[in-house]
């Protein structure tokens, strides 16, 4: 058994909260400022991707126990990693070769 540490999960929890709180200004800033900044858009995409990955990872860890379903848990985590990579590449392509996330949301909102 590994030695228990009271600080083990606190860093992970703090990082999750920082990402979640950071999404609030990142979501509002491009629309409030009125200008579409590609760097701000890329940071928003990266933060959304990290937030989603950590959320789904938490669901897998909570609901697929390691002792009872070791293969299913390992397979689910690898599938999540592959999906995160695929979405990251898709977001990169969308940001560099198309209008970007905030402009797409703006166009859908005003359609």
d(CA 58, CA 63): 8
Average pLDDT, the chain: 90
Please, which residues have CB within 8 angstroms of residue 10's CB and are 6 or more apart in sequence? Answer: none
pLDDT digits (tens, 9 = 90+) for 12-63: 888 999 999 999 999 888 877 766 788 888 999 999 999 999 999 999 999 9
Residue 33 pLDDT: 72
Residue 4 pLDDT: 67
d(CA 74, CA 61): 10
Overall fold of domain 8-110: 3 helical TM bundles of succinate and fumarate reductases (1.20.1300)
């Amino acid at each position: 058994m590994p030695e228990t540490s009271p600080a083990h999960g606190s860093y992970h929890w703090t990082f999750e909260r920082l990402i979640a709180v950071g999404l609030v200004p990142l979501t509002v800033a491009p629309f409030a400022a009125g200008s579409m900044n590609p760097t701000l858009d890329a940071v928003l995409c990266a933060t959304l991707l990290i937030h989603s990955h950590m959320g789904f990872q938490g669901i897998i860890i909570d609901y697929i126990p390691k002792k009872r379903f070791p293969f299913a848990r390992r397979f689910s985590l690898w599938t999540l990693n592959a999906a995160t990579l695929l979405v990251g590449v898709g977001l990169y392509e969308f940001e560099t070769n198309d209008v970007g996330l905030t402009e797409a949301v703006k166009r859908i909102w005003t359609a």
